[in-house]
């Protein structure tokens, strides 16, 4: 136990030294220590978007000092038609705002907890190298804010979430989102459409679809028996009239995350094959994939060229979640039918 | 008129974070205000102690949100007429501490507050106290903060221990957390083990967990929308 404390104290000291260095303006990292360019050439305010929209691909090609401001808002929203739920959000929606930065960027991250909040909140960004992914320095009371700085060392698609205790409760109420760190080498090629989808599981006192304001059910959460499993925070958030639009011949890239807290997603698009999957949101690219796993607290980037028109269903292929718990989004593809790919043979 | 205080009999408080060094704490019997301190009561204090008015207060002891909803230094304001008998909020720990001293009282310790707060309601029917507490945490704030005595009275005769406002305690930050609830390796390991083995019908720990997270995020000069206080006193 003593050793643990010593290590903890050492970490605190190191964090303090790090902070004092940053405060004195020394924000460069030795190139050989990271193998990436870290010389800051300018400042940028990050574009933040609500799902299913993505921030535009970054146009700068050298490291920037990036400002990110994220507000924590506790609010009642529809989880399904006629069903309300008190969500805790990063930016007012579930999932939280999408953040897009570039490897080597120095990010000044401010977390603001709105004065109306009942509870304190913090943020753990899986893209952060440092104590708690930022959580250790951002536990913010209602009406307060905290700022920390991190270097985006590793490229990839990362989940962020609240890590205030009890962590599971904060995540179950919708406190997660995605941050994409564009790599310095070999950035993703431009595609026609980019969308942001994030899965989450929800536990309500009432059953699926039971009307009125539904409260969180801790028993069900502990038993891992969700009433709702959803893309983008509500039933039909991106289905039917809200389906994601695309045209025949276009390449669609989905930035997919899974907030959990409990379920692992068997991510699948009915009637399409992923031409490319950035497995677990990292460097590894798999091709020609039918279903890819998106772990709770994990991600994947999938790409597909839409060769044929129609409604394409995005599902968790743990399929009762789709048919009975709301886990459905859709891509609506418009354009000419290509008989050489698909067609019914009439008798 | 002096605020009524009620006797909380001696008892044992089992700390939320159970470790080898964190044993049940014996709590002596003590007196506690039957309700949170109201705006009307706090106004009397500010009038009698001008250094605690909004414009005179030392910023070290109260942040810029101090009493921000009052009309002016010594006036709660006509539009706040519904709040006269609601708990005063947007008050710092230092202000709460000063108020209690002015009344020849003190803030309750965490152990005292938790012991007092664990008593069951006697005038309303609830499934369980924890259900009741979690339900309050899960609802957004009401547009107007209700009056004192608007929730429930517990077996000791204390009103609104849960469900109205959070309350300052004397040693609110004596549980030192790094801010990351998972980082306190020793405490947290035990907690997770305990959480894994408890009967899932017993959610008491989760309500307490939220309170401890809340207290852990505070600093003494913070003035917050939902945060008020009540005073305590030794029982002789």
Minimal C-alpha gap between A131 and chain B (Å): 9
For residue A216, the chain B residue with the least C-alpha distance is B138
CA distance B45 to chain A (A): 25
Query: Which pLDDT band holds residue A28 (cuts at 50, 70, 90)?
Result: low
Q: Give contacts of B217 with chain A, Cβ < 8 Å.
A: 120, 139-141, 144, 164
Residue B179: predicted pLDDT? 55
Q: Which of B229, B236, B191, B87 is nearest to B148 (CA)?
A: B87
By Cβ distance, the residue of B179, B185, B224 closest to A139 is: B179
pTM: 0.87
Residues of B in contact with A223 (CB under 8 A): 200
Q: What is the pLDDT averaged over residues A238-248?
A: 97
Mean pLDDT value across residues A277-288:
98
CB–CB of B180 and A86 under 8 A?
A: no
All residues of chain B having their beta carbon less than 8 Å from the beta carbon of residue A135 are: 179-183
Chain A contacts of B183, Cβ < 8 Å?
8, 131-132, 135-136
Distances (CA, A) of A79 to A6, A244, B134: 46, 19, 19
Question: Best of A19, A92, A216, A218 to disrupt the B interface by mutation (most B CBs within 10 Å)?
Answer: A218
| Per-residue pLDDT, A4 | 53
Q: Which residue in chain B is spatially nearest to A139 when comparing CA positions?
A: B179
The angle at the Cα of A264, spanning A263 to A265, to the nearest 5 degrees, equals 110
Would you give the distance in Å from CA A294 to the centre of its chain?
11
Q: How would you write the pLDDT of chain B (236 residues) with one tens digit per residue?
A: 789 999 999 998 877 665 556 678 899 999 999 999 999 999 999 999 999 999 999 999 999 999 999 999 999 998 899 999 999 999 999 999 999 999 999 999 999 999 999 999 999 988 888 888 888 887 777 889 999 999 999 999 999 999 999 999 999 876 545 556 565 444 444 443 333 333 323 445 678 878 888 888 899 999 999 999 999 999 97
Best A160, A166, A214, A217 residue to mutate vs chain B (most B CBs within 10 Å) = A166
Per the rule left: phi > 0, alpha: psi between -120 and 50, beta: everything else, A91 is left
Terminal C-alpha separation, chain B: 22
Q: Do A143 and B65 touch (CB under 8 A)?
A: yes
How far, in Å, CA of B204 to CA of B133, rounded? 9
What's the pLDDT tens digit per position in A107-153?
Answer: 999 999 999 899 999 999 999 999 899 988 888 999 999 999 999 99
Q: Would the CB atoms of B179 and A166 count as touching at under 8 Å?
A: no
| Percentage of chain B modeled with pLDDT above 90 | 64
Confidence of residue A203 (pLDDT cuts 50, 70, 90): very high
Residue of A88, A165, A215, A217 to mutate for B, most B C-beta atoms under 10 A: A165
CATH class of B5-234: alpha beta
Bridge partners (DSSP) of residue A48 are A99
Cross-strand bridge partners of residue A73: A89
Interface residues of chain A, partner chain B, Cβ below 8 Å: 1, 4, 8, 12, 74-76, 86, 115-116, 118-120, 122, 124, 131-132, 135-144, 163-167, 169, 213, 215-216, 218-219, 222-223
Residue A140 is given by DSSP the state: B
Identify which of B179, B200, B212 has the shortest CB distance to residue A137.
Answer: B179
Identity of the residue in A118, A122, A144 whose CB atom sits nearest the CB atom of B180: A122
Residue with tokens 């803030």: B107
Using an 8 Å CB-CB cutoff, list chain B residues near A213. Answer: 139
Burial A119-138 (b: 16+ CB within 10 A, else e): bbbbbbbbbbebbbbbbbbb
Cα-Cα-Cα-Cα torsion A244, A250, A255, A260, nearest 10 degrees, comes to 50
* Cβ <8 Å between A136 and B180: yes
Nearby residues of A28 by Cβ (< 8 Å), 6 or more positions away: A38, A39, A40
Of the candidates B137, B186, B210, the beta carbon closest to that of A4 is on B186
Residues of A in contact with B134 (CB under 8 A): 215-216, 218
Residue A24 has pLDDT above 80, yes or no: no
Whether residue A199 has pLDDT greater than 90: yes
Say if the Cβ atoms of A166 and B201 lie within 8 Å. no
In tens, the pLDDT along A103-119 reads 999 999 999 999 989 99
Contact A162, A190 (CB under 8 A): no
pLDDT of residue A1: 41
Which pLDDT score, from 0 to 100, does residue A237 have? 97
pLDDT tens sequence across B73-126: 999 998 899 999 999 999 999 999 999 999 999 999 999 999 999 999 999 988
Nearest-neighbour CA in chain A from B221: distance (Å): 11
């Amino acid at each position: 136990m003593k050793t643990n404390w010593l290590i903890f104290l050492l970490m605190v000291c190191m964090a303090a030294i790090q902070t004092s260095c940053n405060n004195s303006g020394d924000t460069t990292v030795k190139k050989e220590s990271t193998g990436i360019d870290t010389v800051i050439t300018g400042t940028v305010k990050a574009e933040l978007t609500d799902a299913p929209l993505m921030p535009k691909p970054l146009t700068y090609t050298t490291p920037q000092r990036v400002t990110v401001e994220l507000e924590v808002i506790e609010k009642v929203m529809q989880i399904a038609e006629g069903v309300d739920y008190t969500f805790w959000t990063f930016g007012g929606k579930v999932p939280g705002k999408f953040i897009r930065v570039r490897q080597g960027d120095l990010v000044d991250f401010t977390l603001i907890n709105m004065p109306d909040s009942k509870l304190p909140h913090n943020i753990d960004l899986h893209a952060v190298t440092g104590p708690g992914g930022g959580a250790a320095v951002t536990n913010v009371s209602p009406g307060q804010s905290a700022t920390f700085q991190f270097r985006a060392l590793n490229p990839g698609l990362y989940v962020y979430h609240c890590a205030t205790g009890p962590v599971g409760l904060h995540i179950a109420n919708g406190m997660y989102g995605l941050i994409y760190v564009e790599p310095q080498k070999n950035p993703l090629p431009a595609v026609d459409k980019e969308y942001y989808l994030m899965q989450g599981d929800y536990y309500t006192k009432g059953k699926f679809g039971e009307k009125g304001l539904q409260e969180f059910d801790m028993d069900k959460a502990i038993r891992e028996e969700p009433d709702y499993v959803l893309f983008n925070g509500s039933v039909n958030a991106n289905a039917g009239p809200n389906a994601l639009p695309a045209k025949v011949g276009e390449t669609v890239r989905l930035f997919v995350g899974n907030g959990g807290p409990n379920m692992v997603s068997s991510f699948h698009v009915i009637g399409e094959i992923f031409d490319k999957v950035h497995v677990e949101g990292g460097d590894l690219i798999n091709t020609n994939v039918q279903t890819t796993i998106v772990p709770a607290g994990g991600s994947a980037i999938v790409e597909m060229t839409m060769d044929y028109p129609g409604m394409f269903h995005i599902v968790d292929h743990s399929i009762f979640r789709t048919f009975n718990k709301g886990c459905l989004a859709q891509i609506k593809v418009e354009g000419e039918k290509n008989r050489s790919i698909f067609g019914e043979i009439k008798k | 008129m002096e605020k009524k205080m009620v006797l909380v009999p001696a008892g044992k408080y089992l700390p939320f974070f159970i470790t080898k060094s964190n044993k049940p704490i014996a709590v002596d019997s003590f007196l506690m205000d039957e309700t949170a301190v109201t705006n009307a009561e706090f106004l009397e204090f500010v009038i009698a102690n001008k250094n605690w008015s909004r414009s005179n207060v030392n910023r070290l002891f109260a942040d810029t949100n101090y009493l921000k909803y009052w009309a002016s230094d010594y006036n709660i304001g006509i539009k706040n007429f519904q709040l006269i008998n609601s708990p005063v909020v947007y008050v710092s720990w230092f202000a709460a501490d000063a108020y209690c001293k002015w009344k020849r009282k003190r803030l309750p310790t965490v152990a005292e507050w938790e012991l007092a707060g664990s008593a069951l309601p006697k005038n309303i029917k609830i499934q369980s106290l924890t259900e009741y507490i979690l339900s309050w945490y899960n609802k957004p704030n009401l547009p107007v903060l209700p009056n004192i005595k608007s929730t429930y009275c517990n077996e000791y005769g204390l009103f609104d221990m849960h469900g109205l406002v959070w309350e300052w305690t004397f040693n609110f930050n004596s549980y030192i957390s790094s801010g990351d609830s998972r980082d306190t390796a020793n405490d947290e390991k035990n907690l997770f083990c305990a959480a894994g083995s408890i009967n899932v019908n017993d959610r008491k720990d989760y309500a307490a967990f939220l309170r401890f997270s809340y207290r852990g995020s505070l600093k003494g000069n913070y003035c917050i929308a939902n945060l008020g206080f009540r005073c305590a006193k030794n029982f002789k």
